[in-house]
């Protein structure tokens, strides 16, 4: 393992924050309360308008307003990471530049979805965004959603760029993630993108998670990461395994349907879902409620 050579955006548990909608619009009052609650309860960073924030159904105006509002509301208390990836590289550049202008601390760039890309296309697209902006970049690998993954050869090329500092790994493939960690530990930090793999990925040298679970359990998710960073693997594993059934319930339907439902059950104002996402099936709702009761959330 080498010595990491680049800026670290955060260590620990960054929350992939939901976006509350009310009557079809972003409810900024509710958004502000969620941001404050996350900061008060131990989250280490805020990810705004990512997958969990339903970024793909935000209009351009809404997307920019959410980023600007989050920076203003957070007021430097935590790093704000802007979800600005797109399958249109020019649009991703425009949105990413805006995020930099309004004071976001880093960018989270998902691989181009639907149109996908060849490895060369991925490299050119990510480098175009990196060259056009001035903040650290976290690559986001989630092939189950986008239809395209980031192979080691692409990571190796992209890690040469001074502002491409980390990857959010939600491929679920621990063998592939281990290969990235083995080759690029001094130039690419790793975050788990799956709540059921926080401890496994951190055991390979990862420095935290970008988490859905943190929307409802920020203290516990932070604590799991803290224990790993402090070398308490047994303690971290106990938390990971103790929350596994709840984590599985949070993904029994497509994210963020269950976590928004969970927020409502807890009295956290997560607002409505936006089509094509819709309310949970009753059997899944019952499963989620059962697991939330088991850990004392409701």
pLDDT of residue 4: 83
Residue 14: band (very low, low, confident or very high) from pLDDT cuts 50, 70, 90:
very high
Note if 140 is an active site residue. yes
| Each residue's pLDDT tens digit, 201-244 | 999 999 999 999 999 999 999 999 999 999 999 999 999 999 99
State the Cα–Cα distance between residues 147 and 157, nearest whole angstrom: 21
Q: Which of 135, 155, 168, 260 is catalytic?
A: 168
Confidence check: pLDDT of 1 > 80: no
Question: Which domains are assigned to the chain?
Answer: 12-230 (3.20.20.70)
| Each residue's pLDDT tens digit, 55-71 | 999 999 999 999 999 99
| Each residue's pLDDT tens digit, 41-53 | 999 999 999 999 9
pLDDT of residue 5: 84
First to last CA, the chain: 43
What is residue 181's three-state secondary structure?
helix
Residue 291: closest CA among 256, 254, 266, 255: 266
**Alpha-carbon Rg of the chain, whole angstroms?**
18
pLDDT of residue 3: 78
**% residues pLDDT > 90 (the chain):** 98
Task: List residues bridging with 139 in a β-sheet.
Answer: 109, 167
| Each residue's pLDDT tens digit, 55-114 | 999 999 999 999 999 999 999 999 999 999 999 999 999 999 999 999 999 999 999 999
Residue with tokens 């976290």: 138
Q: Which backbone phi and psi does 126 adopt, to 5 degrees?
A: -65, -40
Residue 12: closest CA among 173, 206, 148: 206
Confidence check: pLDDT of 161 > 60: yes
What sign does the dihedral 173-43-49-68 (CA atoms) show?
Answer: negative
Note if 168 is an active site residue. yes
State the Cα–Cα distance between residues 171 and 196, nearest whole angstrom: 12
**What value does the mean pLDDT of the chain take?**
97
Q: Are strands 25-26 and 45-48 parallel, antiparallel or unpaired?
A: unpaired
pLDDT of residue 2: 60
State the Cα–Cα distance between residues 115 and 229, nearest whole angstrom: 38
Say if residues 192 and 201 touch (Cβ distance below 8 Å).
yes
């Amino acid at each position: 393992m080498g010595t990491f050579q680049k800026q670290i955006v955060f260590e620990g548990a960054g929350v992939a924050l939901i976006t509350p909608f009310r009557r079809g619009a972003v409810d900024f009052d509710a958004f502000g309360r969620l941001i404050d609650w996350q900061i008060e309860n131990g989250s280490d960073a805020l990810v705004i308008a990512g997958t969990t924030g339903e970024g793909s159904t935000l209009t351009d105006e809404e997307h920019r307003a959410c980023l600007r509002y989050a920076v203003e509301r957070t007021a430097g208390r935590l790093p704000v990471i802007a979800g600005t990836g797109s399958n249109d590289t020019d649009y991703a550049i425009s949105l990413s530049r805006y995020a930099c202008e309004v004071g976001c601390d880093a960018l989270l760039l998902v691989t181009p979805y639907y149109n996908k890309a060849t490895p060369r296309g991925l490299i050119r697209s990510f480098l175009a965004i990196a060259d056009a902006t001035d903040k650290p970049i976290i690559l986001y690998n989630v092939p189950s959603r986008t239809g395209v993954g980031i192979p080691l050869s692409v990571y190796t090329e992209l890690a040469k760029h001074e502002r491409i500092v980390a990857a959010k790994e939600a491929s679920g493939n621990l063998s592939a993630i281990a290969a990235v960690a083995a080759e690029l530990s001094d130039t690419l930090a790793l975050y788990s993108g799956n709540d059921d793999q926080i401890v496994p990925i951190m055991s390979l040298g990862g420095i935290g998670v970008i988490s859905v679970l943190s929307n409802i359990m920020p203290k516990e998710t932070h604590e799991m990461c803290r224990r790993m960073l402090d070398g308490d693997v047994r303690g971290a594993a106990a938390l990971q395994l103790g929350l596994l059934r709840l984590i599985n319930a949070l993904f029994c339907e497509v994210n963020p349907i269950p976590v928004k439902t969970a927020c409502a059950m807890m009295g956290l104002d997560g607002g409505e879902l936006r089509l094509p996402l819709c309310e949970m099936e009753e059997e899944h709702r019952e499963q989620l409620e059962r697991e939330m009761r088991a850990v004392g959330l409701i």
